[in-house]
Chain A
Amino acid sequence: MRARRRIFGVTPVRLASSLVAATVFAAPAARAVEVSDPLEPVNRVIYGLNELVDVMLLGPVAEAYGELPSPVRTGVRNVLDNLRAPVTFVNDLLQGETDRAGTTFARFFINSTLGLFGLFDLASELGHPQHHEDFGQTLAVWGVAEGPFLMLPLLGPSTLRDTAGLAVDMLAFDPLAHASSIEPSIARGVGEAVDTRHRLDPVIRDVRRNSLDPYATVRSAYVQRRAGEIRNSRPGTADPRYESIFREEEE
């Protein structure tokens, strides 16, 4: 009940001043450890609304989805992953990762044909492991700063850079965006939401039970994980800010 009062307790003035602050303080530096969050009051409200949607709708639907036989869910996941391949392919190329682009192309070709429209991930078994790239990561590789942290309605944690990247991926790079009707995009969006929610269920339960401040947990973990994805988990790229934490007690 307390949470609900907070949700509707943000005044327009506060909203406006936060938006102004966001423009002024949009941080230029890449921050893997601390992210700038000038919109925090608004973000927390949106987070509360997302939580409401999760408890009332997405969570229960994902739980029902979890009752389906495991091979069915794997098939759904494979189809969704295969549909993302074109976006990954374009971004592999834009990042100059030609080897990875080749892998993505081979995967899409194999799984769309022999894998029966993506239902089976034969490519992984043939030695072409999966990876994901998006335009937010490409922007990061190009040196664009992540900007302020944003909590998007329904879509969850993001940054200004990742939100811009998402828009480009969805409107320009995604073949479904160029389809004549919008239904396939909607179906895919719902599938992604339910499947992702289902796979993250243990994590979500843990955060709900154990986090001292779930919003702060989600924000920190999102930014850290994105930084890892941008590095493509290559070693030797340690973040100096992360390293400095472990020298603190010497001060």
Chain B
Amino acid sequence: MTARTERAGRGALARRRLAGFVVATLAVGLAGGGPARAEPSAPAARFVDGLGQTVLAVLRDGRLDRAARLERLSQLLEEASDLTLVARLVLGRYWREASEAQRRDFVALFRALILKTIAERLDQYGGETYEIVGVQPVDERDTIVSTRIARPGGTPIAVDWRVRAEGGRLLLIDIVAEGVSMVVTQRSEVAEIAGRSGIDGLLREMRRRLDGTA
């Protein structure tokens, strides 16, 4: 565990900021639709490909306005992912310490913050396309589907999608962009704040973020 300090300066940023890939991954990833060149055979690969194609269709559908597009994407996210499980993994050891009410609040705020991020990224779709480049089973439940997202005029980004088989369904539970996992990164943010100001302090901070007053 890292040393804690009340001097934690928020809002400070250094030069090399690879991190935002993570915060933005959901949005970038979801916006990264395009024709897959590889023929995905494994169910997990088909699942990721299907998700990518659907997102792409939503982004390119000229009949949808911004609100409808956002609505459609949040629906997709709810269907394709287990956000309660992801929130729980992000809260890490503090999940066990949290009361029922705190857990409920955390999951709700976590979900709202992800949707806020997607909304912010919605207008930034710039013709990205993806390609499925590998499928690697991890254990009996989880599979990593590797994609390469090509950006016009930029170097491609390697993005891995961790897919879990649960109750006969497939669910997206982590996104790893250029080696940076969304779950791991958010876990360390959350642990930092919860370690400093407790779970209630964390929930307050999340509410501030959501209101845009932070």
Give the interface of A toward B (CB within 8 A): 3, 6-7, 9-10, 18, 21, 33-38, 40-41, 44-45, 47-48, 50-51, 54, 58, 70, 151, 154-157, 193, 196-197, 199-200, 202-222, 224-225, 227-229, 231, 233, 235-236, 238, 242-243, 245-246, 248-249
| Majority secondary structure, B binding face | mixed
Given known contacts A200-B16, A200-B18, is B24 in contact with A221 (CB within 8 Å)? no
Q: In whole angstroms, what is the CA distance A215 to B11 when docked?
A: 8
Residues of B within 8 Å of A246, CB to CB, are 89, 138, 142, 162, 164, 173-174
Residues of B within 8 Å of A36, CB to CB, are 2
Residue B101 interfacial (CB < 8 Å)? no
> Are the CB atoms of A229 and B188 closer together than 8 Å?
no
> Are the CB atoms of B24 and A203 closer together than 8 Å?
yes
Indicate which residue in B1, B8, B202 contacts A215 across the interface (CB closer than 8 Å).
B8
Residues of A within 8 Å of B127, CB to CB, are none
Q: In whole angstroms, what is the CA distance A248 to B17 when docked?
A: 29
Nearest B residue to A208, CB-CB: B13
| Majority secondary structure, A binding face | helix
Indicate which residue in B17, B24, B120, B179 contacts A233 across the interface (CB closer than 8 Å).
B179
> Are the CB atoms of B19 and A207 closer together than 8 Å?
yes
Give the interface of B toward A (CB within 8 A): 1-5, 7-24, 85, 88-89, 92, 113, 116-117, 120-121, 124, 134, 136, 138, 142, 146, 153-154, 158, 162, 164, 173-174, 178-181, 183-193, 202, 205-206, 209
Task: Using A48-B9, A228-B178 as known contacts, list a sample of 19 further A-B pairs with CB atoms less than 8 Å apart, ordered by residue number in A.
Answer: A3-B11, A18-B3, A41-B7, A50-B13, A204-B13, A204-B20, A205-B20, A213-B10, A215-B8, A215-B9, A215-B10, A217-B188, A219-B188, A220-B188, A221-B180, A222-B18, A235-B146, A245-B89, A246-B89
Nearest B residue to A33, CB-CB: B184
> Are the CB atoms of B12 and A37 closer together than 8 Å?
no
Indicate which residue in B92, B174, B189 contacts A248 across the interface (CB closer than 8 Å).
B92
> Are the CB atoms of A193 and B3 closer together than 8 Å?
no
Q: In whole angstroms, what is the CA distance A155 to B164 when docked?
A: 38
> Are the CB atoms of A51 and B113 closer together than 8 Å?
no
> Are the CB atoms of B16 and A227 closer together than 8 Å?
no
Indicate which residue in B2, B16, B89 contacts A37 across the interface (CB closer than 8 Å).
B2
> Are the CB atoms of B7 and A217 closer together than 8 Å?
no
Residues of B within 8 Å of A40, CB to CB, are 2-5
Shortest beta-carbon distance, B200 to chain A, in Å? 14
Shortest beta-carbon distance, A42 to chain B, in Å? 10
Residues of A within 8 Å of B189, CB to CB, are 211-213, 216-217, 220
Residues of B within 8 Å of A238, CB to CB, are 138
Q: Which of A37, A196, A203, A245 has most chain B Cβ within 10 Å?
A: A203
Shortest beta-carbon distance, B124 to chain A, in Å? 7
Offer 27 A-B interface pairs, CB within 8 angstroms, sorted by A.
Answer: A3-B11, A34-B1, A40-B2, A44-B12, A50-B14, A54-B13, A70-B153, A196-B16, A202-B124, A203-B17, A203-B18, A203-B24, A210-B24, A210-B117, A214-B10, A215-B10, A216-B189, A217-B185, A217-B189, A218-B19, A220-B185, A224-B181, A224-B184, A233-B179, A245-B183, A246-B173, A248-B89
